[in-house]
Amino acid sequence: MPLVEIFGLGVIDNITSQYGYKVISNNLVYFLGGAGYTVFITALSLVMGMILGLFAGLGKLSNKKILCFLSTAYIDFFRGTPLFVQIFLLYFGILPLFYDNDPVTSAIIALGLNSGAYIGEIIRSGIQAVDHGQIEAARSLGMNQRQAMTHVILPQAFKIVIPPMINEFIALLKDSSLLSAITVPELMHRGDLVFANTYQATWVFGAIAVIYFIITKIISVIGDKVERRLATD
Amino acid sequence: MPLVEIFGLGVIDNITSQYGYKVISNNLVYFLGGAGYTVFITALSLVMGMILGLFAGLGKLSNKKILCFLSTAYIDFFRGTPLFVQIFLLYFGILPLFYDNDPVTSAIIALGLNSGAYIGEIIRSGIQAVDHGQIEAARSLGMNQRQAMTHVILPQAFKIVIPPMINEFIALLKDSSLLSAITVPELMHRGDLVFANTYQATWVFGAIAVIYFIITKIISVIGDKVERRLATD
Amino acid sequence: MIQVIDVYKSFGQLQVLKGVNFQVAPREVVCVIGPSGSGKSTLLRCINQLEATNSGQVYIDGEELTHPKTDINQIRQQVGMVFQLFNLFPHKTTLENITMAPIKIKGINKADAEKLAMELLGKVGLTDKAHVYPGKLSGGQKQRVAIARALAMQPKVMLFDEPTSALDPEMVGEVLAVMKNLAFEGMTMVVVTHEMGFAREVGDRVVFMDEGIIVEEGLPQDIFDNPQNPRTQAFLSKVL
Amino acid sequence: MIQVIDVYKSFGQLQVLKGVNFQVAPREVVCVIGPSGSGKSTLLRCINQLEATNSGQVYIDGEELTHPKTDINQIRQQVGMVFQLFNLFPHKTTLENITMAPIKIKGINKADAEKLAMELLGKVGLTDKAHVYPGKLSGGQKQRVAIARALAMQPKVMLFDEPTSALDPEMVGEVLAVMKNLAFEGMTMVVVTHEMGFAREVGDRVVFMDEGIIVEEGLPQDIFDNPQNPRTQAFLSKVL
Amino acid sequence: AGQTGDQNQAQQQQKVLKIGTNATFPPFEMQDNNEFTGFDMDLIRAIGEEQGYKVEINHMDFKALIPSLGNNKIDAAIAGMSITEERLESVDFTDAYFNAGLIIAVANSNESIKTTEDLKGRKLAAQNGTIGAAYCVEVKKQDPKTETRIFDDIGAAFMELEKGGVDAVVNDHPVTAYYLKTTTSTKAKMVGDIFSADDQYGIAVKKGNAETLDMLNEGLNKIKANGKYDEIYKKWF
Ligand SMILES: Nc1ncnc2c1ncn2[C@@H]1O[C@H](COP(=O)(O)OP(=O)(O)OP(=O)(O)O)[C@@H](O)[C@H]1O
Ligand SMILES: Nc1ncnc2c1ncn2[C@@H]1O[C@H](COP(=O)(O)OP(=O)(O)OP(=O)(O)O)[C@@H](O)[C@H]1O
Ligand SMILES: [Mg+2]
Ligand SMILES: [Mg+2]
């Protein structure tokens, strides 16, 4: 499908397709390097998001009012505003207060904070999806809240959480294209740069779409495998 | 929280905050008009997405191989590539083949196609979440597949589907900020323009963030109400 | 009325029915007993083709259900089924649960369908629950509505799959009473059940299944008091 | 051993326990019967404070559980509980289900915990299932593992909440046999059950609950053969 | 009623010139009170008037300008676009209408960067698609220790400079000058001379669209000749 589109667009662009093709072939390695950044940044953000999400998810379920409020506010804010705005405000506004921030670490922090909010909700609903009888059984054996959580609930929530987590990974990967705005050298940014020099919009963005599609497809195939493997025990 | 940030950022902007404040107050009506576009386009896209999503979701569950394949391909493509690239390819590449496309209708089609893929998955999983016994009961009474679907399964899937649908609405609303690229005069587009002429990044994007946040909050509050009302029958 | 001839059914590798032969005469009440996993539900579901058979034939009233040209939806209208977990439609009231199929499938007009439904509700003792949603009913009430719903299609045969085993003990009686009544009125019935008292009292014949075949069948008193097959003996010793 | 004094419990508007008084002596087996929704499970859950009481006191072995300063986790270790739906930990093997609490809570070393667990598995007849995940066990086997899991904490009291009502009929016997054994060994037990045969044979005392109060209690033969209260009579007439 | 009908007819007869721009590049193109203003805007309107066209301006993402030309959504794009050989592969440009030249902007406190030579090995910011960006990449080729940050808008590049994320912004002189003039409290200043004076802006049309190209070139020559161009130039610079 994307190939057809590229073809269709190539015609409309009214440009000899040879030039567009040359632009892509000349820049393919450069693009793949950008894809490397994309995956790398997304993966690190996801790790950060998981840690934050665990706290936020547990916090939202906590019966400590203040924790619950803070977690809810965090989750609501980052889910309620466009990621682009978050990236911009963090990069130019908040992070410079703390350190001499560079695009890549800022990107990881911004995406990490954003995905933390989504993962927080995933973890919360994963925990709530564990049968209530499980916590009752654990408590009836004399475990306290924390022991029941760590030994009984979280290991089971883990499995429930895998599929939405893979979806979040894919969403985050695609969202990382917004980091172009703060000059992170990821796939979309490199696409933007090549485009600006060549004006080959269709070829460049078509190729970028194909690369994103391949990466997300790989992740979802791996995700399905992981899910299936976990389902068997 | 956003207010604190705006404040923090206002300092960093290194500009008399009065100027930033003036920029916002001068442009507030302009921004709210943009927010109107944002909501309008998002709502229409959602309607289109629901129709497409219904077909795609049912198609993916169909035992007609070709329907299932087409639905899966549609869903995978639109979930697997960045929305920005989709908007771009549709606006410049695909839609001009069919009509003299303008930004607003193109935007609705692009977001509609995109959300259709996500809603397709929501509807598929909503249908699968209806207890299998329901379809058995319907079939055992002599209903055919279609009758069982329309009278028994879909009405129940409808309730299950409400909360993820509200999430999709919110996600779509935020994603509509990407339409800025094709000159749709929505909220983000107007923010971009005002920013470019005033350099008041923090104030402008802070204000934009607040407006998005308020809209998404309103949607989720209404969503919760709808959910609660439906839960009681 | 019902003829099941040499039916085989497997799920993937798992052979569940291994050549079942089985007849039910008109107005006969047959009770099917047997250990969990022996294929009782599967047999019942093959009778109305909720589960497609791998081989063998099923006839109801002379029509072959397993024939590819048979309109299975047509035949299912003549075969009522009652499930262990009731499977009432939660988004419809009791009355709507009962009238839905007659209106939507048979095209009966609403007033007639409701009249019939109220009669059936009377029969199962729930006239006062006509406009209540299933969520507000007790288990026993739900199952009685489910029976009324199946009867509303005026079936020739009724299939029951453990209709009382999800019920609280004090509600079992009310459902069995409805079923007993139905039997006395002459309905042809196949009942998978663990209620041995019901099987003994109401059943014309008892069929014992184990591991996908019918091991033994006969009059209730013969099976219960004098089982021949060692597997039947072992099962009954645990259950009675 | 157990003293329940004037316990009230409500969920929102719904009053579920309306002043329950109740004692269990050491080594006594008390069976609780009563219609669905009468508050039997809630009473049991108040005894080990899985459900906080609104008012009234609960004592176990002289310690007041309802006192705010009591370390409730400490006391729950001495009170085993068995649930209707087993609630085994599905991500752990049978053996791990049994050893988890002793290792994690009591700090017993793994080898000792496993030795004890194997003994208990022997007692419930499932030594060969030690390394199997719950998903592969039948209902009866699951419930026997659940009993072994509760026993592994060496409780002074065991609470059973309808331990056999989710089981296929041919598996009820194996679980009741394990419970009977436990009773004969002198365990103090409170058993909510619909198995009247068990109550009659094993119970030292039967308690009949209805609508949040204890309506009648006494020796099994007195309750079953000669119930005094009309509500008890009505209930027993449906169930026996 | 007849009168309005005539007016309508007159409007329909007047040819429309659809122009695309990216109004985030003051003083060439920007937006003020919902009106597009700036040097480029005045210029294209003047050309349109001269040639008998009604000019219709659309703002869009910079990325969207070229595809918009490609499928005739716009007739021409004017957005401070520098004429380069690579781009000539994809679009045609009119004769140059502005000779920009680059300038370096640094923080007020910065005394170490004075000339283009001092840019080597530093952190540099520029706007994507400008000659400034190309220049930064060139510097990086000469000294790989150089770090380049190429932003989508020039506004973001200036903000990066103000927050101390880069040492210098390399950009078209008029744009930088306008920025420093309008944001009085800025912490930045211009240093050195204008360089790369061969940075010339052109109006882009779809490749092969000689008709529009000739019309625009003609109009451009006319307004240069009749003093209109100088008038607009004086208004903005
Ligand atoms: N849809 C299915 N897919 C795979 N296996 C199935 C399916 N339905 C039933 N089985 C398997 O077929 C076997 C027989 O199932 P069936 O439900 O007919 O037994 P049953 O005699 O009704 O038992 P029970 O008394 O527990 O209801 C079981 O091992 C069951 O796991
Ligand atoms: N967590 C809860 N929240 C609200 N209501 C509850 C809760 N737990 C129990 N109830 C209600 O309290 C009443 C008594 O419940 P309980 O489970 O104690 O009854 P029971 O005697 O055990 O019945 P059964 O035989 O069905 O198990 C019921 O009406 C039930 O709906
Ligand atoms: Mg069955
Ligand atoms: Mg209970």
Mean pLDDT over each residue of chain B, to the nearest integer: 86
What band does D149 get if pLDDT is binned at 50, 70 and 90?
A: very high
Beta strand E123-127 pairing with E76-77: unpaired
Question: Cβ–Cβ of E129/A196 closer than 8 Å?
Answer: yes
Residue B100: predicted pLDDT: 81
Q: What is the pLDDT of residues D187-205, one digit of tens each?
A: 999 999 999 999 999 999 9
| Chain A residues contacting E via beta carbons under 8 Å | 12-15, 19, 92, 96, 100-103, 180-183, 189, 192-193, 195-202, 205
Q: Do chains D and C touch (3 or more CB pairs under 8 A)?
A: yes
pTM value is: 0.83
Q: What is the pLDDT of residues B32-62, one digit of tens each?
A: 999 999 999 999 999 999 999 999 999 999 9
Question: Cβ–Cβ of A84/B202 closer than 8 Å?
Answer: no
Share of chain D above pLDDT 70, in %: 100
CA distances from C12 to A140, C15, C38, C92, E119 (A): 40, 8, 16, 36, 71
Q: Which residue has the higher pLDDT, A19 or C82?
A: C82
Mean pLDDT in residue range D152-177: 94
Question: Cβ–Cβ of E30/B15 closer than 8 Å?
Answer: no
Residue B94: predicted pLDDT: 80
pLDDT over threshold 90, residue B98: no
Residue A232: predicted pLDDT: 56
Rounded Cα distance between E213 and E222, Å, is 14
B with E: how many residue pairs have Cβ under 8 Å apart? 69
Rounded Cα distance between D177 and D126, Å, is 13
DSSP of E109-159, one letter per residue? T--S--SGGGGTTSEEEEETTSHHHHHHHHHHHH-TT-EEEEESSHHHHHH
Residue A17: predicted pLDDT: 56
Residue E32: predicted pLDDT: 77
Q: Confirm or reject: Cβ of C82 under 6 Å from ligand 1.
A: no
Residue B1: predicted pLDDT: 36
Nearest-atom index, ligand 2, CA of D35: 25
B with C: how many residue pairs have Cβ under 8 Å apart? 59
Chain C residues near residue B155 by CB distance under 8 angstroms: 91
Of B65, B61, B15, B2, the closest CA to residue B201 belongs to B15
Mean pLDDT over each residue of chain D, to the nearest integer: 94
Q: Which domains does chain B have, with CATH numbers?
A: 3-232 (1.10.3720.10)
Q: Which residue has the higher pLDDT, A118 or B197?
A: A118
CA distances from A20 to A10, A26, B150 (A): 8, 10, 50
Among B95-99, D208-212, E228-232, the range scoring the smallest mean pLDDT is B95-99
The answer to whether the beta carbons of residues C65 and C240 sit under 8 Å apart is no
Considering every ligand atom shown, identify the ligand nearest to the alpha carbon of residue C32 and give its number: 1
* Angle, helices A2-13/E62-70, rounded to nearest 10 degrees: 70
Residue D122: predicted pLDDT: 95
Residue A224: predicted pLDDT: 86
pLDDT over threshold 80, residue B232: no
Of C139, C3, C157, the closest CA to residue C66 belongs to C3
What band does B233 get if pLDDT is binned at 50, 70 and 90?
A: low
pLDDT over threshold 80, residue B160: yes
Mean pLDDT in residue range B88-99: 81
CA distances from B86 to A17, B70, B79, B113, D121 (A): 21, 18, 10, 9, 60
Question: Most C CBs within 10 Å: which of B63, B132, B140, as the mutation test of the C interface?
Answer: B140
Ligand 2 atom 4 nearest Cα: D11
The answer to whether the beta carbons of residues E201 and E100 sit under 8 Å apart is yes
Mean pLDDT over each residue of chain C, to the nearest integer: 94
> Which stretches of chain E drop beneath a pLDDT of 50?
1-7, 9-10
Q: Do chains D and E touch (3 or more CB pairs under 8 A)?
A: no
Q: Confirm or reject: Cβ of D237 under 6 Å from ligand 2.
A: no
Among B195-209, C1-15, C110-124, D57-71, the range scoring the smallest mean pLDDT is B195-209
| Chain B residues contacting A via beta carbons under 8 Å | 1-2, 5, 8-9, 12, 73, 76-77, 79-86, 88-89, 92-94, 96-97, 170, 174-175, 177, 188, 201-202, 205-206, 208-209, 212-213, 216-217, 220
Separation in Å, CA of B79 to nearest CA in chain A: 8
pLDDT over threshold 80, residue B11: no
